Structure 1
Amino acid sequence: MHLRAEAILLSVRGHGEHGAVARALTEQDGLQPGYVRGGRSRALRPVLQPANLILGEWRSRTEEQLAGLTVELIHSRAPLFGEPLPAIALQWATALTASTLPEAQPYPRLYAALDGVLAAIEAAPAARGWATAMVRYELLLLAELGFGLDLERCAATGSMQDLGYVSPKSGIAVSRAGASGYEDRLLRLPEFLTEGGAAEWSDILDGLRLTGHFLERDLLIGRGADLLSTRVRLVDRLKRAVA
């Protein structure tokens, strides 16, 4: 196995005394893990930072063997980890992707969307510039992994108009007329997800509540409390930022 490609670094963990195992997302070859010799060294620590764009070269004798990985830094987002809100956003987006995608399966739409989210965080660290992109990325991740929501028509009436809610059980949209009397049992569907355009903070938080429900139910079961706590911290920081 020999692969050379640009990739978004998603996660890094120490392995042995000096090495590290890194997981990175490539556009055409999906999620690729690899062992980086000397990955815990002073020289490589700034390179092996989640959210960085790298040029990776993976080599192994067999498909089953963990590949050896050498990395070159293309673009660093390390400075953003000095700012609390961008840092937790980068941490969440990369950890979510690393934890849920199967290895070696191409997800070019997810690669492009994740690159867009990370670029938006870098360009506008204030959350209003990237929070809607984060919601859309979470929706796309659900869809790409087979848990997409149906936000096209009402589950109760079949109408494609005035959709305002989503069933927490079926993941299908519900119109305001169809939701009458049952609003407290449904998740609110913010308009920016169906109509586009700008979003108020209340809409952004509703969007995160919507995606969070289905991420926790369908993708993050058994993934560990640390991952979920990262998202809780992100939402809490967003709430404090707009309070």
Structure 2
Amino acid sequence: MEWRDTGILLSTRKHGENSLILEVFTPEHGRHLGVLRGGTSRKMAPYLQPGAQLDLTWKARLEDHMGAFTAEPERSRAAMALGHRIALAGLNTTLALLTFCLPEREAHRPLYNRSEALLDLLGQPDLWPLAYLRWELALLEELGFGLDLTRCAATGSTEDLAYVSPKSGRAVSRAGAGEWADRMLPLPDVLLGKGAAPDREIVTALQTTGFFLEHRLAPQLSDRPLPAARSAFLDLLARQSQRPA
């Protein structure tokens, strides 16, 4: 068995004296693991940082074996991420969620394309929070838990949408929420693609998407909590949003 693909490096762990097990996300083969012999060498180690883009060839005797990679670096993203705390926290969050959410060896090309585009924005920290929010919405959509924010679930109206139903993931207007408003999740303008998207709104929006990640998606995947990297990123973004302009 053999294939060649590009891929985002999610993580590495040592294997034997000089090899690594690479975990990557590829467009055609999904989240995939394999052994990279010589991965700890001085030649390869600088290129094998989380988020790196790699040209990969995978070989195995049988399809269900872990197999072995050969890897050539296409581009590194570490320098862009290290230059800004939000970017670094966002990189860690993105890779952790992909590792947590994606089944092995199942292609998710639309999500892959969005993930690659998101990581290529690491050098633009002013754009990163909004880009990350859109990516998280796409992650929920790709895995079957997308939000429907087009019209009110109760009245059908497209006006004055202010909440998200925690049960259905659908938008609810103020009139439609009525006495149940205090049980709803907030629907800031940024989730509707409106307004200037300040960081404080993005934090609120990520609290809403986080509910569905934690209470809808995660229980379907495992009994483990969401990666701590996401909470760390959200806390950092919240502190940034409180600073004077």
TM-score with structure 1 length normalisation? 0.90
Query: In 2 relative to 1, CA 45–236 (structure 1 residues): closer, same or farther, beyond 3 Å?
Result: same
| 232-241 or 146-155, larger mean C-alpha shift | 146-155
Residue 224 of structure 1 deviates from its aligned partner by: 4.1
Query: In 2 relative to 1, CA 224–46 (structure 1 residues): closer, same or farther, beyond 3 Å?
Result: farther
**Which residue identity lines up with residue 74 of structure 2 in the other structure?**
I
1:111 and 2:109 are equivalent in the alignment: no
Aligned partner of 1:150 in structure 2 is 148
SS class of match (2:47): coil
In the TM superposition, 1:82-161 aligns within 5 A as 82=82, 83-122=84-123, 124-125=124-125, 128-161=126-159
1:33 and 1:66 in contact (8 A); partners too: yes
Separation in structure 2 between the aligned mates of residue 160 and residue 105 of structure 1, nearest angstrom: 36
**Which residue identity lines up with residue 122 of structure 2 in the other structure?**
I
Query: In 2 relative to 1, CA 19–179 (structure 1 residues): closer, same or farther, beyond 3 Å?
Result: same
Aligned partner of 2:25 in structure 1 is 25
Aligned partner of 1:232 in structure 2 is 231
5+ long unaligned stretches in structure 1: none
1:99 and 1:223 in contact (8 A); partners too: no
Residue 86 of structure 1 deviates from its aligned partner by: 1.4
SS class of match (1:38): coil
Query: In 2 relative to 1, CA 88–158 (structure 1 residues): closer, same or farther, beyond 3 Å?
Result: same
In the TM superposition, 1:1-243 aligns within 5 A as 1-82=1-82, 83-122=84-123, 124-125=124-125, 128-196=126-194, 198-221=196-219, 222=222, 224=224, 227-243=226-242
**Which residue identity lines up with residue 227 of structure 2 in the other structure?**
L
Separation in structure 1 between the aligned mates of residue 199 and residue 177 of structure 2, nearest angstrom: 23
SS class of match (1:164): strand
Residue 202 of structure 1 deviates from its aligned partner by: 2.3
SS class of match (2:227): helix
TM-score with structure 2 length normalisation? 0.90
Q: Deviations over 1:200-236 (max 9, x none)?
A: 22210111101111111123344645x5311111011
5+ long unaligned stretches in structure 2: none
Separation in structure 2 between the aligned mates of residue 118 and residue 94 of structure 1, nearest angstrom: 10
Residue 165 of structure 1 deviates from its aligned partner by: 0.9
1:46 and 1:78 in contact (8 A); partners too: no
**Which residue identity lines up with residue 17 of structure 1 in the other structure?**
E
Percent identity at matched positions? 42
Q: Deviations over 1:41-72 (max 9, x none)?
A: 33322222111111011111111100200111
SS class of match (1:3): strand
SS class of match (2:149): coil
Q: Deviations over 1:171-204 (max 9, x none)?
A: 1111122123333211111223223453122210
